[in-house]
Structure 1
Amino acid sequence: MNPTNPMIVQSDKTILLEVDHPQHAEARDALAQFAELEKSPEHIHTYRLSPLSLWNAAAGGMTAEQVMDLLTQYSKYAIPMNIAVDIREYMNRYGRIKLIREGDALLLTSNDVALMAEVYHHKRTQPYILRQLNSHTIQVDASRRGHIKQALIHIGFPAEDLAGYTDGSPLPVKLRDMTLQGDEFAPRAYQYAAAAAFYAGGAPSGGSGVVVLPCGAGKTIVGLAAMADIQRATLILSPNTIAVRQWINEILDKTDIPPEMVGEYTGDRKDICPITVST
């Protein structure tokens, strides 16, 4: 707490950040880990601590204490007491339910018997439940994995997904040191870090998620780095044909994948290849 710091934390879970403050950039980077940007006018940006942003932080390995430490580090004034309570409450909910796989069965598990009873009887989760195996375990429809995860978010207990994914077809992918245009190339440290967070070393906890970066920060490069980590056939979805062709150009320019291994699947062409880019 220091009146010369760049931000104010309010009891309604909003955070005001001074754009022209010398510490703006580092405070912004700290907030990006656990808060959502709501408004960005010229001088004051408004962030919000939401359940989803805090759960995402917990999924990324942050603790409630780390979030509080960062808020305290950059706040002008004392953090309202309800903020600390809410942060701990929300972040402690993440992972109380785990999604695992046993053979072909997809299971929800928890040590909290009362919570599992609530999940079993809740109207949002009922459509995806196959049966309750015991007081700690519920079998759910494996084909509705995303739906059950969304339902659990709606009832306030996001699952830690440890079910993993089925391996795709192997495909060697290597990033170039020199692009086809003759420029030196290497992903930046934060791009490598984003790809590594997504891949998680191939652990069951990896392989899914959303990479959030500003415009121009090189999300395509993060995608290429993830492809190089995973070494598997890849389907890339883009909003339009122009973006599809930009992706293809980047793949050919910055990886060692030959052109015949990259396909365009749009209204103009219907090529399916080990790497297919589609709308």
Structure 2
Amino acid sequence: MTTEDDAEAGGDDAGDQPETVTVADVYDAIDAVGKPHLTPAEVAAKTGLTADEAREALERLGEDAELERQDVSGAEAVYYPPDLDAVTDRERVILFPDRHEVVVEHADQFTRAQLSQFAHLVDTNRAGGAIYEIREEDVWQAPYESLDELLATIHDVVGERSEHLEEWVRSQWERARKFRLVTHEDGYTVLEAENDDLMGNVARQKLDDDVLRAPISDSESWVNEEMTAQLKRTLYEAGYPVRDDRDLEDGDALSVELGLPLRDYQADWVQRFQEQGSGVFVGPPGSGKTVATMGVMEAVGGETLILVPSRELASQWRDELLLHTDLDESQIGEYHGGEKAIRPVTIATYRTAGMDRHRKLFDERRWGLIVYDEVQHIPADVARRSARLQGKHRLGLTATPVREDDKEEEIFTLVGPPIGTDWSALFDAGFVQEPEVQIRQIPWSDDEVADEYVSAVGHGRRQTAATNPAKIDEIRHLLTEHPHAKALVFVEYLDQGEAIAAELDVPFISGETRHAERERLFDEFRRNERDTLVISRVGDEGIDLPDAELAIVASGLGGSRRQGAQRAGRTMRPVGDAQLYLLATRGTEEEDFVRQQMRHLASKGIRVTEQDAEAVGERSGRAEDDAGDE
């Protein structure tokens, strides 16, 4: 039996045992202090040990080669991990609850994908840091069935609980459920408010008489059905998104059978769309949004109107429907400047469908489904008119709902909530190849061009940076580095495109290229008879551009996130490597433009890196060789 004296002796022996500090504790202390090396005093302050205990613990870790030691003249030794990259590249997530911001450093793909579910990417930097903001609309549109699921994801990402933030998220979640549209038993549309005050002081104050026809009760109003889009937009801008629970007409029946199986995530999109009755498929290029839409057509079983931005895209839709469904040519019509046929499935351009003289024809048809392809066009004045068309279900399709006028929220207001925003799941499952995205910093080709940039202003300055001749050297270098890759080189300026095509001895495709010639070149590219094409802005959307293993953006539409994602999308394929390089002239505003272009991709979990041009050394080497030959 142990005596009290024995116990006291044991206690003294235990007290002689030094406190334990692990390398993980040192990493945590490094995070807290904000520098990669620590003194014993700093470790003591962050671990609760005495200075002597911290010093002994650090000395043991140094003896075991788990830490490096550096003696400093006139001061205590400092300790640091052998691999500094293990510290400097560690993922860090910092929450600023009062500002509703999350700052991350070196976030992995999973963290970035989680953040994309409830936050908006505001800015990134070259060192791998990013700032996310949780906005009202991010909470309103968060793809979760319950508030608890949303809060759980936020907690998983930030690693801490914040009563202030959670209370604000809760209030926004509830705010998105204050108003809803329903169908009265007599068939007309009713706006319901959660309480009398909301109806009287918000809805009836904000909405004109041509939107709300008459009050039904203190919390209900009769709605002009033709003005439902205006109602949703007005209340959304007032901070109250409206749930659309109307029992719309089913539309005329149409049996559609899809001839190929849906992938698991596509089937999930279709199921979520059926549950919601409307929505926007937000998936990367190559994820099969068109096929998933055919799955929706099969599930809805109603006549369908498909709206597209161009006649060429209308023809592509017709071909895809004939290829993958049991619809025949007599059931599919196109309605645009070149052809005008309304059939059970009609494919029309936004411009034509938005014209008053044509819209009446579409209104006379009872559509079970209206599809908005490239739905990011819908906030534009011409395309918005098509949102007044009535259908049982509305489905939008886009890889890039972002708009430079910040009107992307109107997409979800006019069409429906986003579906399929988690791109990382598609990358992880191998359905779509995640591209390697890199910004290359290009020096000026010579002092004369640099001086031209300094003296230019406005658009002239942007064009000078975009068409920097040194970019041709880097393009040639990248093509040499990827000798077997099928490559697309994108340009914004026709003169630049012609110059690059001439230097590389490859074709240049622009809006001035005849349709037949364009299709011939694309077919040769698909059949591997050509491995490189230079393409202007005509390749950004609305044409069936072949996929490539390598995309090089020599110049772009200053800062357009949508254009950046569309061009990256040309490399997103089910198999193989996929690489995107964006060339930016160093020290110019073009650097900021390309970073801004990549924000949408970064918000989807795609890692974007930066590097100096590699062709500079080669050019210098060639110059030295030439001098030596002389």
TM-score range, shorter chain: 0.7 to 0.9
Please tell me the residue identity of whatever aligns with 1:48.
E
Match of 2:345 among 250, 258, 275: 275
Partner of 1:101: 183
Question: Which structure carries more helix by proportion?
Answer: 2
Give the distance between the partners of 1:45 and 1:259, measured in 2 at CA.
50
Aligned pairs (5 A) from 1:174-189: 174-177=257-260, 186-189=261-264
- Deviation, structure 1 residue 61: 4.5
Aligned pairs (5 A) from 1:1-279: 7-11=93-97, 12-17=99-104, 21=108, 24=109, 26-39=110-123, 43-57=128-142, 60-75=143-158, 78=160, 80-102=162-184, 103-124=186-207, 127-177=210-260, 186-200=261-275, 206-279=276-349
2:91–2:106: 8 Å Cα contact kept in structure 1? no
Give the distance between the partners of 1:255 and 1:172, measured in 2 at CA.
10
Which range is displaced more, 230-239 or 186-195?
Answer: 186-195
Equivalent pairs, count: 259
Structure 1: which 5+ runs fail to align? 178-185, 201-205
Structure 2: which 5+ runs fail to align? 1-27, 32-89, 350-630
- Deviation, structure 1 residue 40: 6.4
- Deviation, structure 1 residue 275: 0.9
- Deviation, structure 1 residue 104: 2.9
**C-alpha distance 214-83 of structure 1, shift in aligned 2 (>3 A):** farther
Question: What TM-score results when the alignment is normalised by the length of structure 2?
Answer: 0.38
1:5–1:74: 8 Å Cα contact kept in structure 2? no
Give the distance between the partners of 2:209 and 2:117, measured in 1 at CA.
33
1:20-64 deviations in whole A, cap 9, x for unaligned?
Answer: 62xx2x33443333333445677345443222221122xx55333
Please tell me the residue identity of whatever aligns with 2:173.
M
**C-alpha distance 189-28 of structure 1, shift in aligned 2 (>3 A):** farther
Give the distance between the partners of 2:309 and 2:121, measured in 1 at CA.
23
Q: Which structure is larger by alpha-carbon Rg, 1 or 2?
A: 2
Question: What TM-score results when the alignment is normalised by the length of structure 1?
Answer: 0.81
**C-alpha distance 214-172 of structure 1, shift in aligned 2 (>3 A):** same
Please tell me the residue identity of whatever aligns with 1:65.
D
Q: Secondary structure at the match of 2:278?
A: coil
**C-alpha distance 13-105 of structure 1, shift in aligned 2 (>3 A):** same
**C-alpha distance 221-80 of structure 1, shift in aligned 2 (>3 A):** same
- Deviation, structure 1 residue 88: 0.9
Give the distance between the partners of 2:172 and 2:308, measured in 1 at CA.
33
Report the identity percentage: 25
Give the distance between the partners of 1:158 and 1:131, measured in 2 at CA.
21
1:135-186 deviations in whole A, cap 9, x for unaligned?
Answer: 2211121211111111221222222211132112111111113xxxxxxxx2
1:10–1:79: 8 Å Cα contact kept in structure 2? no
2:144–2:150: 8 Å Cα contact kept in structure 1? no
Q: Secondary structure at the match of 2:279?
A: coil
Give the distance between the partners of 1:19 and 1:169, measured in 2 at CA.
53
